[in-house]
C-alpha cells in the first residue's frame, strides 16, 4: 500500500520494516519511528476528528503534546481501550488500532455536522450556563448527552490486563525536557557528580535538535544528541527517563512523572522473561533542584477557517519532513510573523514540493532564512498574511492580503492562492505550564512576545522555556542553569564544554495574533483560537461584550484552555484577542492558570498497585486463619477484618445472618461463647506519674485503683464530648494497661502523646502500643469458668478472682494475663497471650469446649449482647456531640478530682447542662417484630405538619433472642425524664413505628450474671 506523502528518504525511521495499523477501521502502513500522526499524514489521511461543538472536520496541526485535534481512542479490545491519546505522541506499533473520538456515523460523513450538534449555531459561547442551568436536577441528564456528542473518549468497561506502579525517587537535580537546553543542563549537573534525573516526553531524546537545520561542531545536530545521550547513559549518577512526561509540579519540588514503558510496544504490555512488565509508572520525584527545559510551543495565527484540515503549525511541517520523512501536502502557503518559521518553506521546497508563497506580516523581512528562501526563488509577500483558508475537508486555497497591524485592518486587495496546505507561525510561547502549577504568575516580555515563568525557590527555567531561542544561547543557558542547580545541591561546577554553533542572523518578529479580515470578527468566517474546545475569536469578543472582563471569566465563559488541552496553542492568542477587545495590554489582561496534568495520565498510572486486593491494608489477628476455615463472614472495622458472624450449615441449609446471630447470642447467655477481641487497642503505660496522667485524661477517678484491679474509663475531648472508652488495669503501682476501642487505638495513643508532650511534659510517664503483641480472646457465658478451669493454673474461684480483677498464669501452657471484665453482661474472662501462641490457645479452648458447646461469635453478636446491657460503643452511640451526662454515666465522672481533667470545664457550660439535650435511652418497639432502623429519626407528634420537629434518633438497633423482640438504643431530647412515654419513628415508606422509652439496660438490670 502506498504512502503518498512519504518522502523517498530522510527521517528517523527504520524503513526496512513496515508496520500495519488501522484508523477508523481502515488499514494503513507505516514504519518504526513513526508516530500515529506521522503515519496518518504519510498515508494522506486529512480528517482525524470532528470538532467538539460545531462538528467541523479537523486534521493534524501539530507534532507534539500541543496537538488539539488528533485525540484518539486506542484499543482493539474492550479491555485495552485508552481514551485521550494524542496521535502525535503515540509511537506506531504493529497492529495498533485507533479511532476518532468524535464523529457519527464517521468523521468523513458526519450527520451532526449537517444538522449541527445540539443545534449547531444555537450553541453560542456561554451555552452551558445559559441552557443547562435550570433545573439543576437535570444536569446529570444533559451531561450524558453532551459528553456523548462531544466525543471525549471513553474508559474501558472490562478489567485492565496490565499492571502499573509508582516509584519514589529522590535526586539532586531533576531536568525536565531533553532538548538542547535539557541535555546541556543534564551534562553540566551530571558531570559535577550530582544525582540527576533527565525526563523527556518523546520517543527519542533531543527535542528540537532532531529536526534542526543547524550544525553543532559542524555536524548534524542529531549526532551531538546521540553523543550527549550516550555519555549521560554511562554516568551512574544520571537516570534517563524517555517517554516520560512531567505532568504535575507540586509543592516543595515534588514532581510527578508519567513514564510510558510499554505503550510503544503494543496495546498491552508484552511479557519479559516470562514475567509481566509494568505498563506505565508514576515516578514521585522529590528533587533538590528542578530545571525546566520544556522549550516553547509555536503559536499559530488566528485567521478565517484556520481549522480546515491542511492548516498546520509551521514548525510541525518541518518536524514531519525532517524527523518523519513525511510532507503533509503538495502546495504550501506559509503565513508568518517571524524568521524562524521560514524553515518550513525551505524544508518543503527541499523535499521537492511547491512553495506557492510566503506571506510575511513584516514590511521588510530580512535575515538568513529569509535570504535562503529568496535564493530558492520562493515568492515572499511582505506586510501580508493569510486572511482565510478556502476548502471544506481540505485546504484548497488561501486568501492573502496586505494587513495593517497597527490599525487591525486589511490594507490591500486579497488574492487567492491555490494551495493544499497553509502553515502558520505567530511566534513562540515558552512552555510555562509546570511553573504555573506552583501558583507563580508569569511575566510578559515584549521583546520575545511571550510569557516567561516566574519561579519559586529551587526551580529554574532554561532555554526556550524562558524565551531563549537561538541554539547556541540555548545550549549555553542549559549548561549554566544545570551547573547552578548542581552547585545549589552541594556539588562543584565543572568547566563548560559545548559544541560550536554558528550564530544566525534573524530579523525581528512582529506581534500578530488574530489576523484582521475584511469583515468584522463577529460576521467573518470562524477564526479558531482553541481548536480542541471550538473557541473562536468571535466567542471571546462576545464574552467581553457581555461583561466578562477578567481573563479567568473569559476562560470559563468560552471554555478556552479547558480539558486535556490546557491552552497549549490557544491561550496566548486568546489573551491577546481579549486584550484588544478590552483595549488593554496583554500583561494587563494576564494569564489563566495552567493546571496539572500537562497531558492526560491514565488511571492505571495514578492508581499504581494500590488496587484490588492491595487497595487498602487488611489487618489480621493471629486467629484469622481459623476464622476463615470456620466460615466466618467478616466485617471491616477500621482496617481490621473482624469475624462478623459464623454461619453454620444446619440440615443442609446455610443459616441466615439473623439465625446465626440468634444462635450465637443464646450460646453466650446459656452456655459459653468465644470472641476474638485482639483488635482492641492496648497501650502499656509506665512511670511514677502514670496514675496521675490517667486521672487527667479519663473523666473518672484512678487514685485508688489497686494492683490486680481493672476499671472502666471514659475519655472526653476538651469539648466535653465522649471520644473513647475502655478498661484500664493496674498492673503495678506505676504500671497500667489501657484498652481502647478497635477503631480508636491509634487516635487515643496520639491523644495521650499530644497532652503529655504539649501540656504536661513534667509528668514522668511513657506510652507504648502493645496492641499487636497480645492476642485477646473473650470467653463468656455461664460455663466459662468450668471451661477455663480445664486448661489453666489460675485460681478461678469467684472470691479469689472477682469481677474486675485480673490475674496472670498459664492458659494451655502459655503465659497469659486474664482480665475478668464483661462486655456481654455474662461471666467473662479476657485471655491475653503473646500473639505467636494465640492460635494454639484458641484451638485448645475448642478442644476442651465441645462439651460446653463453646460457640465462636462475631461482632454482630457482640453488639447485640452489649446493647442488651446498655453498654455504648463510642462512635456508634456517640457522635462527638454526646457528653457522659447525656449517656447517663454520672457514676463515671469525678467532678471533685483535684486536677482539672480533659473535658471538665466544657461540662460546666450552660449548653452541656441543658436538660433537653439528646440523652441515651432504650426504645422498645410496640410491635416486638419490628427492628427499628439505625439512624431513624424520632418525633413526639406523628400528626405534626411536615417539617416535623426531630426529637432524636436511633443509634443501635437489633433483634434480641433473649427478649424475643426488637430493641434499640437511641438519643432523645430530654429522654432521661421521659421514661414510659411513646415516641414515633416515621419511615421513608410511609409507615410510622411506635416505641416506648425505657431504660437502656434490657437484660439483667442488677448486673448479677457477670458477678457469678
Partner 1 sequence: MSNIVDDKVKTFDTRTEAKVPVESPLAYSYRRSGAPAPGKDSGAVLRERPFLGHLVLRGGAIVLDEALRSVLDMPLPGEPQGLVVDASGERSVQWISPDEWLLIVPGGEEFELENRLREALGDAHFAIANVGGGQTLLELEGAASSELLMKSVIYDVHPRHFPVGKAVTTVFAKTSVILRRPSEERWELVVRRSFADYVYRWLLDAGEEYAIGVER
Q: For residue 652, state whether it binds partner 1 (rule: CB under 8 A).
A: no
**Closest distance to partner 1 from the beta carbon of 619 (Å):** 4
Q: For residue 771, state whether it binds partner 1 (rule: CB under 8 A).
A: yes
From 82-90, 199-207, 272-280, 902-910, span contacting partner 1 (CB under 8 A): 272-280
Q: For residue 520, state whether it binds partner 1 (rule: CB under 8 A).
A: no
**Closest distance to partner 1 from the beta carbon of 785 (Å):** 22
**Closest distance to partner 1 from the beta carbon of 624 (Å):** 6
Peptide bond into 947 cis (omega under 30): yes
521, 541 in Cβ contact below 8 A? Answer: yes
Among positive and negative, which fits the CA dihedral 575, 580, 586, 590? negative
Q: For residue 95, state whether it binds partner 1 (rule: CB under 8 A).
A: no
User: Closest CB to partner 1 among 236 and 406?
Assistant: 236
Q: For residue 636, state whether it binds partner 1 (rule: CB under 8 A).
A: no
From 52-60, 494-502, 612-620, 919-927, span contacting partner 1 (CB under 8 A): 612-620
60, 48 in Cβ contact below 8 A? Answer: yes
CA dist., res. 621 & res. 380, Å (int): 81
**Closest distance to partner 1 from the beta carbon of 772 (Å):** 3
CA dist., res. 617 & res. 859, Å (int): 20
**Closest distance to partner 1 from the beta carbon of 236 (Å):** 11
Q: For residue 631, state whether it binds partner 1 (rule: CB under 8 A).
A: no
Please measure the distance between the N-terminal and C-terminal CA atoms of the chain and give it in whole angstroms: 93
Among 65, 181, 195, 419, binds partner 1 (CB under 8 A): 195
Give 966's contacts (C-beta < 8 A, 6+ positions apart): 925, 927, 928, 929, 930, 931, 932, 957, 958, 959, 960
Q: Which of residues 798-827 bind partner 1 (CB under 8 A)?
A: 808, 810, 812-815, 817
User: Closest CB to partner 1 among 443 and 686?
Assistant: 686
User: Closest CB to partner 1 among 737 and 995?
Assistant: 737
CA dist., res. 442 & res. 460, Å (int): 13
Query: How many alpha carbons fall within 13 Å on the CB side of residue 570?
Result: 33
Q: What is the Cα 374 distance to its own chain's centre?
A: 53
Among 109, 144, 219, 276, binds partner 1 (CB under 8 A): 276
**Closest distance to partner 1 from the beta carbon of 842 (Å):** 11
| C-alpha closest to that of 920 among 885, 891, 967, 965 | 885
CA dist., res. 832 & res. 838, Å (int): 8
Among positive and negative, which fits the CA dihedral 509, 511, 517, 522? positive
Among 610, 798, 802, 914, binds partner 1 (CB under 8 A): 610
723, 717 in Cβ contact below 8 A? Answer: yes
Q: For residue 774, state whether it binds partner 1 (rule: CB under 8 A).
A: yes
User: Closest CB to partner 1 among 282 and 893?
Assistant: 282
Q: Which of residues 131-190 bind partner 1 (CB under 8 A)?
A: 165-170
User: Closest CB to partner 1 among 127 and 819?
Assistant: 819
At 17, give phi and psi (nearest 5°): -120, 145
Among 303, 557, 598, 640, binds partner 1 (CB under 8 A): 640
**Closest distance to partner 1 from the beta carbon of 284 (Å):** 7
Q: Which of residues 683-702 bind partner 1 (CB under 8 A)?
A: 684, 686-688
User: Closest CB to partner 1 among 195 and 373?
Assistant: 195
Among positive and negative, which fits the CA dihedral 127, 133, 137, 138? negative
At 323, give phi and psi (nearest 5°): -95, -30
The residue whose grid cell reads 531524546 is 205
Q: For residue 505, state whether it binds partner 1 (rule: CB under 8 A).
A: no
| C-alpha closest to that of 979 among 1009, 1000, 1005 | 1000
Q: For residue 704, state whether it binds partner 1 (rule: CB under 8 A).
A: no
Enter the C-alpha cell of residue 254.
515534588
CA distances to 453, 556, 660 from 631, in Å: 62, 56, 12
**Closest distance to partner 1 from the beta carbon of 264 (Å):** 18
Q: For residue 595, state whether it binds partner 1 (rule: CB under 8 A).
A: no
- Neighbour-count burial for 451-461, b at 16+ CB within 10 Å, e otherwise: bbbbbeebbbb
- 10 Å CB burial of residue 850 (0-12, 13-18, 19+) is exposed
Q: For residue 710, state whether it binds partner 1 (rule: CB under 8 A).
A: no
Size of the site for partner 1 (CB under 8 A): 64
At 823, give phi and psi (nearest 5°): -110, 0
CA dist., res. 605 & res. 277, Å (int): 13
Q: For residue 910, state whether it binds partner 1 (rule: CB under 8 A).
A: no
Q: For residue 848, state whether it binds partner 1 (rule: CB under 8 A).
A: no
**Closest distance to partner 1 from the beta carbon of 353 (Å):** 48
Among 588, 772, 916, 941, binds partner 1 (CB under 8 A): 772
User: Closest CB to partner 1 among 617 and 947?
Assistant: 617
Q: For residue 279, state whether it binds partner 1 (rule: CB under 8 A).
A: no
Residues that bind partner 1 (CB under 8 A): 165-170, 195, 272-273, 275-278, 284, 286, 609-610, 613-614, 616-622, 624-625, 640, 684, 686-688, 707, 731-735, 764, 766, 768-775, 808, 810, 812-815, 817, 833-840
Amino acid at each position: 500500500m502506498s504512502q503518498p506523502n512519504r518522502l523517498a528518504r530522510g527521517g528517523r525511521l527504520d524503513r526496512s520494516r513496515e508496520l500495519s495499523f488501522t484508523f477508523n477501521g481502515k488499514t494503513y502502513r507505516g514504519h518504526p519511528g513513526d508516530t500515529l500522526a506521522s503515519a496518518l499524514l504519510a498515508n494522506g489521511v486529512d480528517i482525524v476528528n470532528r470538532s467538539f461543538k460545531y462538528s467541523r472536520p479537523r486534521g493534524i496541526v501539530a507534532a507534539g503534546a500541543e496537538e488539539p485535534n488528533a485525540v484518539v481512542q486506542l484499543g482493539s479490545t474492550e479491555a485495552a481501550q485508552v481514551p485521550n491519546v494524542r496521535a502525535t505522541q503515540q509511537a506506531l506499533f504493529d497492529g495498533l488500532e485507533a479511532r476518532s473520538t468524535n464523529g457519527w456515523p464517521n468523521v468523513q460523513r458526519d450527520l451532526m455536522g449537517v444538522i449541527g450538534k445540539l443545534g449547531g449555531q444555537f450553541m453560542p459561547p456561554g451555552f452551558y450556563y445559559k441552557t443547562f442551568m435550570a433545573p439543576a436536577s437535570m444536569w446529570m441528564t444533559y451531561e450524558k448527552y453532551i459528553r456523548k456528542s462531544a466525543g471525549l473518549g471513553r474508559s474501558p468497561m472490562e478489567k485492565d490486563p496490565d499492571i502499573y506502579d509508582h516509584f519514589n525517587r529522590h535526586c539532586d537535580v531533576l531536568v525536565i525536557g531533553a532538548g538542547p537546553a535539557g541535555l546541556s543542563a543534564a551534562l553540566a549537573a551530571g558531570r559535577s557528580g550530582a544525582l540527576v534525573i533527565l525526563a523527556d516526553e518523546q520517543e527519542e531524546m533531543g527535542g528540537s535538535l532532531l529536526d534542526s537545520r543547524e550544525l553543532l561542531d559542524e555536524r548534524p545536530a542529531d549526532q551531538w544528541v546521540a553523543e550527549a545521550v550516550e555519555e549521560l547513559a554511562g554516568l551512574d549518577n544520571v537516570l534517563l527517563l524517555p517517554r516520560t512526561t512531567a505532568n504535575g509540579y507540586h509543592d516543595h519540588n515534588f514532581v510527578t512523572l508519567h513514564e510510558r514503558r510499554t505503550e510503544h510496544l503494543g496495546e498491552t504490555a508484552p511479557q519479559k522473561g516470562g514475567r509481566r512488565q509494568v505498563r506505565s509508572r508514576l515516578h514521585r520525584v522529590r528533587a533538590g533542584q528542578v530545571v525546566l527545559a520544556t522549550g516553547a510551543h509555536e503559536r499559530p495565527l488566528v485567521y478565517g477557517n484556520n481549522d480546515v484540515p491542511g492548516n498546520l503549525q509551521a514548525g510541525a511541517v518541518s518536524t514531519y519532513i525532517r524527523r518523519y520523512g513525511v510532507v503533509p501536502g503538495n502546495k504550501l502557503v506559509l503565513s508568518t510573523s517571524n524568521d524562524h518559521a521560514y524553515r518550513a518553506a525551505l524544508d518543503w521546497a527541499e523535499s521537492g514540493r511547491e512553495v506557492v508563497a510566503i506571506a510575511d506580516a513584516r514590511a521588510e523581512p530580512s535575515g538568513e532564512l529569509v535570504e535562503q528562501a529568496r535564493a530558492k526563488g520562493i515568492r515572499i509577500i511582505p506586510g501580508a498574511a493569510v486572511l482565510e483558508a478556502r476548502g471544506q475537508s481540505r485546504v484548497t486555497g488561501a486568501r492573502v492580503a496586505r494587513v495593517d497591524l497597527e490599525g487591525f485592518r486589511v490594507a490591500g486587495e486579497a488574492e487567492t492562492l491555490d494551495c493544499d496546505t497553509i502553515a502558520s507561525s505567530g511566534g513562540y510561547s515558552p512552555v510555562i505550564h509546570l511553573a504555573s502549577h506552583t501558583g507563580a504568575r508569569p511575566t510578559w516580555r515584549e521583546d520575545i512576545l511571550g510569557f516567561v515563568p516566574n519561579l519559586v525557590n529551587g526551580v529554574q527555567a532554561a532555554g526556550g522555556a524562558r524565551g531563549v531561542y537561538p541554539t547556541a544561547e540555548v545550549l549555553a543557558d542549559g549548561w549554566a542553569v544545570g551547573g547552578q542547580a548542581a552547585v545549589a545541591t552541594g556539588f562543584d561546577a565543572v568547566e563548560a564544554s559545548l559544541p560550536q554553533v554558528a550564530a544566525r542572523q534573524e530579523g525581528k518578529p512582529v506581534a500578530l495574533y488574530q489576523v484582521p479580515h475584511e469583515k468584522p470578527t463577529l460576521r467573518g468566517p470562524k477564526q479558531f483560537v482553541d481548536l480542541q474546545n471550538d473557541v473562536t475569536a468571535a466567542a471571546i469578543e462576545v464574552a467581553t461584550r457581555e461583561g466578562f472582563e477578567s481573563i479567568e471569566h473569559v476562560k470559563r465563559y468560552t471554555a478556552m484552555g479547558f480539558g486535556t488541552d490546557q491552552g497549549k496553542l490557544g491561550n496566548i492568542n486568546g489573551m491577546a484577542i481579549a486584550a484588544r477587545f478590552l483595549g488593554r495590554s496583554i500583561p494587563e489582561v494576564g494569564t489563566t492558570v495552567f493546571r496539572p496534568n500537562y497531558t492526560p495520565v491514565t488511571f492505571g498510572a495514578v492508581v499504581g498497585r494500590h488496587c484490588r486486593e492491595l487497595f487498602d491494608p487488611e489487618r489480621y489477628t493471629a486467629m484469622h486463619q481459623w476464622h476463615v476455615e470456620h466460615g466466618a463472614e467478616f466485617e471491616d472495622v477500621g482496617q481490621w477484618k473482624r469475624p462478623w458472624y459464623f454461619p453454620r450449615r444446619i440440615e443442609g441449609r446455610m443459616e441466615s445472618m439473623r439465625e446465626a446471630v440468634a444462635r450465637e447470642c443464646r450460646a453466650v447467655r446459656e452456655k459459653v461463647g468465644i470472641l476474638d477481641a485482639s483488635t482492641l487497642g492496648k497501650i502499656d503505660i509506665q512511670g511514677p506519674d502514670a496514675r496521675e496522667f490517667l486521672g487527667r485524661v479519663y473523666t473518672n477517678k484512678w487514685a485508688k485503683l489497686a494492683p490486680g484491679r481493672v476499671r472502666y474509663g471514659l475519655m472526653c475531648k476538651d469539648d466535653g464530648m465522649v471520644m473513647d472508652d475502655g478498661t484500664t488495669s493496674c498492673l503495678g503501682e506505676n504500671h497500667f494497661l489501657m484498652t481502647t476501642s478497635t477503631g480508636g487505638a491509634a487516635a487515643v495513643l496520639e491523644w495521650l502523646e499530644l497532652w503529655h508532650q504539649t501540656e504536661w511534659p513534667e509528668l514522668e510517664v511513657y506510652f507504648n502500643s502493645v496492641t499487636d503483641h497480645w492476642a485477646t480472646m473473650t470467653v463468656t457465658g455461664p460455663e466459662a469458668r468450668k471451661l477455663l478451669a480445664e486448661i489453666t493454673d489460675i485460681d478461678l474461684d469467684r472470691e479469689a478472682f472477682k469481677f474486675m480483677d485480673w490475674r496472670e498464669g498459664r492458659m494451655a501452657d502459655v503465659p497469659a494475663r486474664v482480665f475478668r471484665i464483661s462486655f456481654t453482661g455474662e461471666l467473662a474472662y479476657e485471655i491475653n497471650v503473646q500473639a505467636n501462641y494465640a492460635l494454639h490457645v484458641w484451638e485448645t479452648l475448642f478442644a476442651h469446649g465441645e462439651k460446653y458447646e463453646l460457640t465462636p461469635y462475631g461482632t454482630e453478636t457482640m453488639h447485640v449482647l452489649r446493647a442488651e446491657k446498655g453498654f455504648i460503643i463510642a462512635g456508634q452511640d456517640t457522635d462527638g456531640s454526646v457528653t457522659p451526662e447525656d449517656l447517663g454515666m454520672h457514676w463515671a465522672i469525678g467532678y471533685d478530682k483535684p486536677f482539672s481533667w480533659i473535658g471538665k470545664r466544657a461540662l460546666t457550660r450552660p449548653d452541656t447542662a441543658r436538660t433537653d439535650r439528646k440523652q441515651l435511652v432504650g426504645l422498645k418497639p410496640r410491635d416486638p417484630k419490628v427492628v427499628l432502623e439505625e439512624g431513624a429519626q424520632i418525633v413526639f407528634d406523628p400528626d405534626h405538619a411536615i417539617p416535623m420537629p426531630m426529637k432524636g434518633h436511633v443509634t443501635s438497633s437489633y433483634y434480641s433472642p433473649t427478649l424475643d423482640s426488637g430493641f434499640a438504643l437511641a438519643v432523645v431530647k430530654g429522654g432521661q425524664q421521659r421514661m414510659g412515654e411513646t415516641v414515633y419513628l416515621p419511615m421513608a415508606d410511609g409507615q410510622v413505628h411506635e416505641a416506648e422509652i425505657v431504660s437502656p439496660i434490657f437484660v439483667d438490670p442488677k448486673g448479677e450474671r457477670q458477678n457469678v
